[in-house]
């Protein structure tokens, strides 16, 4: 993806001629919390009181879900959001999905995933997990995945709009700023840098 940085201000660009579609492409950072925190709580409640899963199994599958999200985050960012299909249509799709964020990185209303994308993705992974682990353990596993997603979304927003002093958070912020302003084809991890180490996509020293 070419580095087409346009504006570092908290400003936006119209992506759709339809006012309704353009409105739907913007989202307040708190919306994913209102949608998915109840999902996490319901899955954990169901794990304990309906499915009667043991505490250790819940913890193990929840952590597995967190781990799964970290990989999903990396894969989506590297091989979906940063892949540009050929032709004008391909460029248009790429811009809508991720290019707009690189052009307007501090646009407050385009920093977390819109429900029109996050809900279908969550549904897809729920059924994938259902097939992999069955109808019982899917509950804590999915709760972990969604928690990881929420951590990613909130981290991404904070990285662009808050100043950090803590070393851990500052490292994530510096890493993501390098991705935006120096080496956009490296540093795909946002909430974790582990997979950049594994897949050899960490930043080259300059």
How many other CB atoms are found less than 10 A from the CB of residue 165?
6
Domain definitions of the chain by residue range: 19-160
57 pLDDT above the threshold of 90: yes
Band of pLDDT at residue 162, cut at 50, 70 and 90: confident
What do you get for the CA distance between the two ends of the chain, in Å? 20
pLDDT score recorded for residue 5? 61
Q: What is the CA radius of gyration of the chain?
A: 18
- Most confident listed range (36-50, 87-101, 171-185): 36-50
* CA separation for the pair 55, 28 (Å, rounded): 35
Burial of 149 (0-12, 13-18, 19+ CB in 10 A): buried
For residues 137 and 53, the answer to whether their CB atoms sit within 8 Å is yes
197 pLDDT above the threshold of 80: yes
């Amino acid at each position: 993806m070419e580095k087409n940085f346009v504006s570092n201000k908290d400003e936006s660009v119209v992506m759709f001629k339809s006012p309704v579609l353009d409105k739907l492409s913007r989202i307040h950072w708190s919306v994913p919390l209102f949608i998915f925190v109840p999902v996490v709580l319901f899955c954990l409640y169901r794990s304990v009181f309906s499915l009667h899963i043991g505490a250790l199994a819940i913890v193990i599958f929840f952590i597995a879900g967190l781990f799964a999200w970290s990989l999903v985050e990396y894969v989506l960012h590297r091989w979906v959001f940063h892949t540009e299909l050929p032709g004008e249509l391909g460029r248009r799709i790429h811009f809508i999905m991720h290019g707009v964020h690189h052009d307007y990185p501090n646009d407050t209303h385009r920093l977390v995933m819109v429900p029109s994308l996050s809900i279908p993705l969550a549904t897809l992974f729920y059924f994938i997990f259902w097939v992999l682990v069955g109808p019982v353990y899917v509950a804590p596993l999915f709760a972990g995945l969604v928690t990881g997603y929420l951590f990613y979304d909130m981290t991404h927003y904070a990285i662009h709009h808050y100043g950090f002093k803590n070393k851990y958070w500052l490292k994530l912020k510096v890493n993501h700023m390098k991705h935006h302003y120096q080496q956009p084809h490296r540093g795909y991890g946002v909430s974790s840098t582990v997979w950049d180490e594994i897949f050899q996509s960490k930043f080259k020293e300059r």
